[in-house]
Structure 1
Amino acid sequence: MTFGYGHLAALYGLYLLCTVATWKTVIFAGSHRLWTHKAYKAKRPLQIILMIMSTFAFQNTVVDWVRDHRMHHRYSDTDADPHNATRGFFYSHVGWLLVRKHEEVKKRGKFVDMSDIYANPVLMFQRRYAIPFIGTVCFLLPTVIPMYFFGETLNTAWHIAVLRYISNLHGAFLVNSAAHLYGTKPYDKTIKPAQNSWVSFIAFGEGFHNYHHVFPWDYKTAELGNNALNLTTLFIDFFAWLGWAYDLKTASDDMIKARSERTGDGKNIWGF
């Protein structure tokens, strides 16, 4: 079968969509809900899958990701928050990666408990071999595979791999920026994180951010899971059905309702 430009465009479109969806779902299931918040437990095979896919995503190592995100929740929207949203959209979206860390981030970061992460051999493997492992999984293989199987040129394959990577980053970074600046606050009107359905659509369920900052230990990160947008919850539920994910933590309906009535803004309770 001879592939024309239309076939290649369709294949690359499917490749881009699948890798973006897979990465976002798996990094949020692993680095975020499992390792940062301990919202559920995972058996070793699932941990290995999650670690490899977080390597494919490449937002630094899981160790660094967890440390920064635990800082973000402990000191949310202050100078000790690595991507402090009070410094504006650009800073919380990507600017925080372009400048030196604030002194408060460096000082208070020393007191974040990371003992569980340092004791995890799967995550220590990724950290130990970060440069060759991440370089191979994130950039080399996504470039070489289209060249070998589809006869693509190096120039096109490389730039598609980079496009996939950049698209993933900006989709995830909207959780730090847009979801801390725009939306409703049905659970706690005194904090900056908000419910933003557009971010949830782009980030596969991570935009129910007012809920998440009130109940960070809920494995769903959203009321009732909001499965229409929350593919990450469906991913975890699937592995719970297999028995690889277990001890899933969640807030009860009564707890959610009581908190909403006590501190919420009375708007848009389901995040839409």
Structure 2
Amino acid sequence: MTPRSIAIPKNWTTFNFASLFSAFLYPALGLALLITMTILGLTLEALNLQWWYLPVGLGVVALSIFICNAGIGPLHRIMQHKAGELRAPAQVLTMINLMIAMQGTVRDWVNYHSQHHRFSDKPGDPHNPFESKRWAWVGWILWRDAKDMARPMALWLKQHPIIVWMDRFYNSISLVLHLFIPAVIYLIVWAAGGSLMLTAICHACFIIGRAIQFHATVYGINVLGHLPTPKWADHLIGLLTGGEAFHDHHHEEPQSALHRPRKGVWNRIVDYNGTILLVYEKLGWVRNLKIAPQFA
């Protein structure tokens, strides 16, 4: 089998502009907004830039990373690997978080990830780092094979009408989440006489947080997750990906709702995607969780 990094032609017919926007252009807009607001705040006293905007902005970055992972965790572990069953509230929340994370449709995500497990680190793997680290990072999402995009939704997902409906209207709902709702927030803050500068800084930090999480996932998991890395790197990337970075464990036990042992405060912090699922279980939002013996 020809490696996909070679088999897929690199031209304008295979180039995916939506991926370019989510991976690079949208983060650049967020960074530009933050830099612009900071410069204006430092040069124009009337804008009243405050020192405490910094910790607030960092908090928003962390919140954005958490929200994005709260979508990817249930998608990966439950929708993809069937480590449990999501009830209706969790399905809606997960889909909204996925759209905030700009992960693309569930249909395409699951199809690509199924190929990844089938051909892991071999020709046929959509993002094999041993072919090219750059390809495994962003090449595979920038250049797409039309046959990949034409694959139907996995049969087990078609049993969930909420997921099917929200996935069908992925672009429309994403437009509401990323454009309409922020515009309404700006309008409300302006009408209430609040700080548009602080609002813009928080908006920029949310976009930047999503970008950090996005690239921590596509690089930290697709590339570093398949290469020898020191333990501290695994845990750092684990914090940025909700525990998805513990990839060797995942390939050994793919059908597990946890990627770290259930017990231990640090395990539940660094594998917070699994912790989210445990909380959902308590709320009755997920049932029949499957957990690998070494993590139980």
- The TM-score by the shorter chain falls in which range? 0.7 to 0.9
| Correspondence for 2:270 | 229
Query: 1:127-166 maps to which residues of 2 (within 5 A)?
Result: 127-142=167-182, 144-145=184-185, 148-149=188-189, 150-152=194-196, 159-166=204-211
The 3 A distance-change label for structure 1 pair 10 and 146 is: farther
Cα displacement (A) at 1:115: 0.8
Query: 1:132-211 maps to which residues of 2 (within 5 A)?
Result: 132-142=172-182, 144-145=184-185, 148-149=188-189, 150-152=194-196, 159-173=204-218, 174-183=220-229, 196-211=234-249
Out of 81, 99, 116, the position equivalent to 1:55 is 99
Larger RCO, structure (CA 8 Å, separation 6 or more): 2
Query: 1:248-259 maps to which residues of 2 (within 5 A)?
Result: 248-253=289-294
Q: Is the 8 A contact 1:143 1:157 kept in 2?
A: no
1:13 partnered with 2:58: yes
Cα displacement (A) at 1:37: 0.5
Q: Is the 8 A contact 2:68 2:210 kept in 1?
A: no
Q: Is the 8 A contact 1:23 1:168 kept in 2?
A: yes
Q: Is the 8 A contact 1:39 1:218 kept in 2?
A: yes
The 3 A distance-change label for structure 1 pair 7 and 146 is: farther
How much identity, in percent, do the aligned residues show? 23
Whole-angstrom CA distance in 2 between matches of 1:205 and 1:161? 20
Q: Is the 8 A contact 2:158 2:164 kept in 1?
A: yes
Whole-angstrom CA distance in 2 between matches of 1:246 and 1:209? 24
Q: TM-score by structure 2 length?
A: 0.70
| Correspondence for 1:259 | none
The 3 A distance-change label for structure 1 pair 23 and 3 is: farther
Cα displacement (A) at 1:180: 1.1
The 3 A distance-change label for structure 1 pair 3 and 45 is: farther
| Correspondence for 1:264 | none
Out of 244, 247, 258, the position equivalent to 1:220 is 258
The answer for unaligned runs of 5 or more in structure 2 is 1-46
State the AA in 1 paired with 2:286. A
Out of 78, 84, 94, the position equivalent to 2:122 is 78
Q: Is the 8 A contact 2:216 2:241 kept in 1?
A: yes
Q: Is the 8 A contact 1:139 1:161 kept in 2?
A: no
Whole-angstrom CA distance in 1 between matches of 2:289 and 2:132? 35
Whole-angstrom CA distance in 1 between matches of 2:183 and 2:242? 25
Whole-angstrom CA distance in 2 between matches of 1:227 and 1:156? 31
Whole-angstrom CA distance in 2 between matches of 1:196 and 1:159? 27
Name the count of aligned residue pairs.
239
Whole-angstrom CA distance in 1 between matches of 2:248 and 2:204? 36
| Correspondence for 1:115 | 155
Whole-angstrom CA distance in 2 between matches of 1:228 and 1:136? 31
State the AA in 1 paired with 2:139. G
Out of 66, 70, 87, the position equivalent to 1:43 is 87
Give the stretch that moved more between structures: 113-122 or 207-216.
113-122
Whole-angstrom CA distance in 1 between matches of 2:50 and 2:186? 14
